[in-house]
Amino acid sequence: MSSKARVFVIEADQVVRSALGYILSERHETFTFAEPADALTKAARSAPDVVLVGSSLIADDGAETVAMLARKLNRAGIVVVADSVKAPLALAGLRQGAEAIIAKPITFDGVTHAVESVYARRGTEPGLAKSPRLVPTEISR
């Protein structure tokens, strides 16, 4: 890819949020948030290409949070970070508009591969039109 993706990590759990931010910060422009409202405020100034949503956030706020983010950040691909690709919260996120799942335990390669795959599929390279929402995929480690 010729440019870095702008990635938002929205995760209530500070340890997971920090780990994801650390993994992504070397290759991508990365911003971390504990609350969706903070991410939406930042998105008004600088829209993300990919959004990682932690399952703890879905557990706290409901899967509708993914649908709301997909609607408001419609150019961004959404990835759910969950305990497994078959976890009910992760599957609920897919039904609400997420494109992929990253299963814990998270790894450097797994996280960067998921972000770069979603980024490439969305056609977010400069000069390319937005691609249609693709069939959700599951990405583990």
Q: What is the mean pLDDT of each run of 10 residues along the chain (141 residues)?
A: 82 95 96 96 95 92 92 94 93 94 94 94 49 39 40
Give the per-residue pLDDT at 71.
Answer: 94
Structure tokens at 87: 């976890």
What residue numbers bound the domain in which 54 lies? 6-140
Residue 27 lies in a domain: yes
How many domains are contained in the chain?
1
Give the per-residue pLDDT at 73.
Answer: 93
Give the per-residue pLDDT at 37.
Answer: 96
Give the per-residue pLDDT at 62.
Answer: 86
Residue 1 lies in a domain: no
Give the per-residue pLDDT at 124.
Answer: 47
Tell the residue number behind the tokens 């911003």, with chain if given: 31
Give the per-residue pLDDT at 137.
Answer: 44
Residue 24 lies in a domain: yes
Give the per-residue pLDDT at 61.
Answer: 87
Give the per-residue pLDDT at 69.
Answer: 96
Distances (CA, A) of 98 to 1, 65, 79, 110, 130: 22, 11, 6, 17, 16
Q: In degrees, to the nearest 5, what angle opens at C-alpha 78 toward C-alphas 69 and 135?
A: 115
CATH number for the domain including 43? 3.40.50.2300
CB atoms within 10 A of CB 130: 10
